Every structure is written in structure tokens, then in C-alpha cells.
Amino acid sequence: MLNISLSLTKSLAVVLSVLLTPIRALRLRYVPLLLVYFAYGSGIFTAIAEVFWVKDSLDMSVADLAELGIWLTVPWTVKMIFGSLVDSVLIFGSNRKSYVYMGALLITISFLMMIAVVGDYSIVAAFSKKSVYIFASVIAVIGFVMQDVVADTMSTEVVDKSQSKEEIHQELASIQVLARLSLGFAIFITGWIGGELADVFKEEREVIFMIALLTPLLSILGVSLVHLNPVPVSKINKHVLFGGLAFAFFVVIMGYAQVPYAQEIVFVFSLGIVLTLLNGLIGDLSENAIRHIKMAMIVIFVYRAMPSVGASLQWWQIDVLGFDESFFAKLSAISGAIALAGMWLSAKFIVKRNIGEVLIFLTIIGTLLFLPIVAMYYDVHTLFGVEARTVALVDTALASPFDYIAQVLMLTLVAIYAPEGKKGTWFALMASLMNIALSASGLLTKYLNKIFVVSREVVSDGVVTVAQDYAQLGGLLWVVVISSCIIPIIVIIKYNPSKL
């Protein structure tokens, strides 16, 4: 009995230790910074309303939306511009707060444009809905990128510098976990509420974007209250800043001129530029650190570059399975809540484990948890008398905790090796590489959706201009699930950074 009692006591102590890890790590000085991350996560508030509005109002195919998604990753790819500015250029005496304020202004303008186009206001009547939507999306992304760069930079400047090097590294890891928890909580609460309100205001969807105007106010409040360690303003890295600006100009010209294979050309150029700049920044690190980072980045790049199904999956769920705004809100709430709980409970696991082990685990789990969605397409759930909504709810609940772990591990590694005076540029370049991987994912998604053509019904002036056709969705699902399992595992085994 005594042994059993001791065993239970030890187990309880372990559980309590895990549960209390994030709480023990939290410091009052982190709260304003976490509010900026919360504001970023709150961007999902309009997501469900936007999905239904785009499906009902815009004549855009799945491939068109995938192509737009690729262009929207470009601002994330050129984060080195904002990172260099944050490191070196003061605006109104600040190289932190002023950039968050500007980002908030851009996000506000984006929401105002969406209010006008969704509400069919006359102020945008001279423009096509598609053009306004695309421009508003670009403006919002730029605003969020600016705020994200500053938040990542500030995450290294709220630590207690009086500690030992090991303790500082531990605190940096804790801040990254807390930042993801803040994001997760924002996605949980605002995604759920936004989806429920999208159902309530399905005839007046512009109301959702009016409420979303509160989002930029959160980031303004957070950055206004944050207290940072004093850091020197470094010299402008002309190669990074002007090279990034030249690349951004090149991207705009390529997109505006509609050059054939513009996205592929931009992808190759952006990958080459970021790798060159990154190689220059890590040149003064130890050889072992450089090798570790390079192997980790290969693994992360491939992991994030795998294709997705695209908008066709949600369209099928809406048209065939009858999922509505309220149900998508419930899925968002479950996903956010369980992801938050998983992040909380795995805080120690995330900090201790190596990247290769975690990503192999995530790849296998992700594949297994995607199979029920594939099975639903073939009506397997009806053979067992299970409703499609039940399958979706359970599958979402199981899959949710695994979404953020890879990014947290990478951000922790980036934070540990962030060079003094170059932190903004460092974070921006590393994040840019990961976002270029998402561009690769978008390109693969676009190609697959051109091979496996899926369409929802499009009605114009009472006439069906595009017929509903989900016949090829099954093939698309199988290609995505198989490639996303086999390719990452092979690469992870070959380039596992834990072997160093």
C-alpha cells in the first residue's frame, strides 16, 4: 500500500508540474507582449464569414484561391525588410511601437474595405468585388506581418538579463510557448465567437468585419504598455534592406504584369535571396550551430511545403454534408480549445524534445487523423451509422493539439541563436524561409487542383454558370494524404538534426 501511495503521489506531482509549467513561467512583464500575439490570433474572427461570402459572392475557383494564397505569403517572405527597419530605423523616436501602430492602421483599412464590399456600399461600386477583396487581403497581411516582426523581436527583450546564459535560454523557450498559448487562446475564443456571429449575421456579414475593428486596438494596447530591455539601434544593413525592397518591387511588377509562371519565378528568386542573406547572418556562429540550424531548416521547410486540399474540402462539406456557419464555429472552438490544452500540457515536452522526433510523430499522427475525412468522402461513416458532423467533431478534437509544436520548436531555436543588434532581421529571415515553404505548399496545391478539378455551383443572375462537381475530390484527398506522410518522414530521417 505504501508503494502504491508513493507511486500515486509521484504521478500527481508530475501531472501538477506539467499543468503548472506555463503558469510558473508567466511574468507580469510578458502580458503586454502576449496581448500583441493575442491580437494576431484574433485575425481568425472573420475567417468563417469570409469563407461563406467568398463561396457565395466571388467567381473564384479553388486554383484561383490557392494562387491568391501564394501571393499573400509574399509579405511574410520579405519580412527581412520590416526586420531591418525594426533593427535600424526610428519612426517618431521608436523602432518598436511605431511599427505596431502602422500595422494596426493597415489592418483597420483592410476591415473598412471588407465592410464596404461585403455590404455592397456604393463607395466601392466602381470596382469589382474580387479586386477589392484581393487588395483588402494584401493590406491586412502587410499589417499583420509588421506586427509579427515586432512581436518576435520584443520576445527576446522582455527577459531578465541578470540570469545565467542557461536560464536566459530557458526563459526564451518559455516565452515562445506562452506566445503560442496566447495565439491558441485567441484562435479558440475569437474563432468560435466569430463563427457563431457569422451564423447570426449570415444576411449581414459586414457586421462581422465591423466588430473585427476591435482587433487592431488590442495590439495598440499591448505595445503601448510593454516594457523592454534597452537595445542599441544598429546600422542599417543595406544589403538586407535595399535587397529586400528591390525584391518586393520585382514581385509587384511580376504580379501586376501577369508574367507567365510569375509565382514560380518569384518562389525561386525569394528562396535564393533568403538563403543567401541567412547564410551571411549565421557566418559568425559555431560550425556545429550552423550545421544544426541548416539541417533543422531543411526538415521544417519540407514539412511545411506539403500540399493541402485547398478550399474544395470546405466547399464539399458545405454543399454535400450541409455544414453551416454555426457548425464551423463549433469546429473552430474545439480545435482552438484542445490545441490550447495540448500546448499547455506539452510545454515541457516541446522544450526538451528534438525537432526530428517531434516532426516524425506529428507526421504520422497527422496522416492517421486525416484518414477519417477521406473515409467520409466515400460515405464510410454511413455504413457505421455515424453522422458526418460527429466524425468531423471527433477528428478535429484529436488533431488539434499537434498544429503548433513544430513552429514553437523552430522559434525557440531561432531565439536562442538570435545575434545581438540583428534580432529583428534574424527572426524575419528565418520566418521568411518557413513562409517560402508555405509558398511551395501553395504552388503544389494549385497544381493538384488543376489536375483534380473540383467546383461548387456558381449562379449569376439566376443562371448556373458553373456546375457543382466533386467527383475528383477523392483522388485529390488521397494524393495529399500519401505525399504528406511519405515525403516528410524520408527527409526527417535523412536530415534529423538530433544526429548532430
Highest mean pLDDT among 88-97, 232-241, 367-376, 439-448: 439-448
Cell of residue 183, nine digits: 495565439
By CB atoms closer than 10 A (0-12, 13-18, 19+), residue 134 is middle
Is 18 inside a domain boundary?
no
pLDDT at 414: 64
On the question of pLDDT at 352 being above 60, the answer is no
Q: 482 vs 306, 370, 391, 486, CA distance in Å?
A: 10, 10, 21, 6
The stretch 306-311 carries a mean pLDDT of 87
Query: Chain-centre distance of CA 447, in angstroms?
Result: 22
Q: Which residues contact 415 (CB under 8 A, 6 or more apart)?
A: 155, 156, 172, 173, 175, 176, 427
| Residue 5 belongs to a domain | no
Does 95 score more than 90 pLDDT?
no
State the Cα–Cα distance between residues 251 and 257, nearest whole angstrom.
10
Element (H, E) at 7: helix 2-25
Can you state the angle between helices 388-399 and 325-345, rounded to 10 degrees? Answer: 30
Cα–Cα distance measured from residue 44 to residue 340, given in angstroms and rounded to the nearest whole number: 15
Confidence of residue 303 (pLDDT cuts 50, 70, 90): confident
Residues 6+ apart with CB under 8 A from 1: none
| Distance from C-alpha of 257 to C-alpha of 69, rounded to nearest angstrom | 18
Alpha carbon distance 13, 15 (integer Å): 5
Q: Which of 318, 46, 43 is nearest to 197 (CA)?
A: 46
d(CA 383, CA 96): 57
On whether residue 2 sits in a domain, the answer given is: no
- Reduced to 3 states (helix: H, G, I; strand: E, B; else coil), residue 481 is helix
Reported as a single tens digit per residue, the pLDDT across 104-116 is 999 999 999 999 9
CA distance 78 to 246: 10
> DSSP readout, 448-478?
HHHHS--B--EEETTEEEE--B-TTHHHHHH
Per-residue burial over 64-78, b if 16 or more Cβ lie within 10 Å, else e, is: ebbbbbbbbbbbbbb
Query: Around 53, how many Cα atoms within 13 Å sit in the side-chain half-sphere?
Result: 26
- Number of domains observed in the structure of the chain: 1
C-alpha closest to that of 416 among 430, 433, 435, 432 = 430
Instruction: Provide the 8-state DSSP code for 234.
Output: P
- Domain of 307 in residue numbering reads as 26-499
On whether residue 16 sits in a domain, the answer given is no
SS3 125: coil
What's the predicted TM-score (pTM) here?
0.75
Is the Cβ–Cβ distance between 232 and 423 less than 8 Å? Answer: no
Is 326's pLDDT higher than 80?
A: yes
**Structure confidence at residue 79 (pLDDT):** 75
Query: By C-alpha distance, which of 226, 215, 59, 199 is closest to 143?
Result: 215
Query: Does any domain span residue 296?
Result: yes
Assess if residue 314 is contained within a domain. Answer: yes
The pLDDT tens digits for 407-432 are 665 666 566 666 666 666 677 677 77
**Cα dihedral sign, 94-97-101-103:** positive
User: How far apart, in whole angstroms, are the C-alpha atoms of residue 234 and residue 90?
Assistant: 11
Please give the pLDDT value at position 15. 44
Residue 132 lies in a domain: yes
pLDDT at 34 over 70: yes
Residue 460, in any domain of the structure: yes
Q: For residue 391, count other CB atoms closer than 10 A to its CB.
A: 18
Q: What is the pLDDT of residues 38-70, one digit of tens each?
A: 998 898 899 999 989 998 888 888 888 888 888
CATH number where 224 lies: 1.20.1250.20
**Higher pLDDT among residues 191 and 232, named by residue:** 191
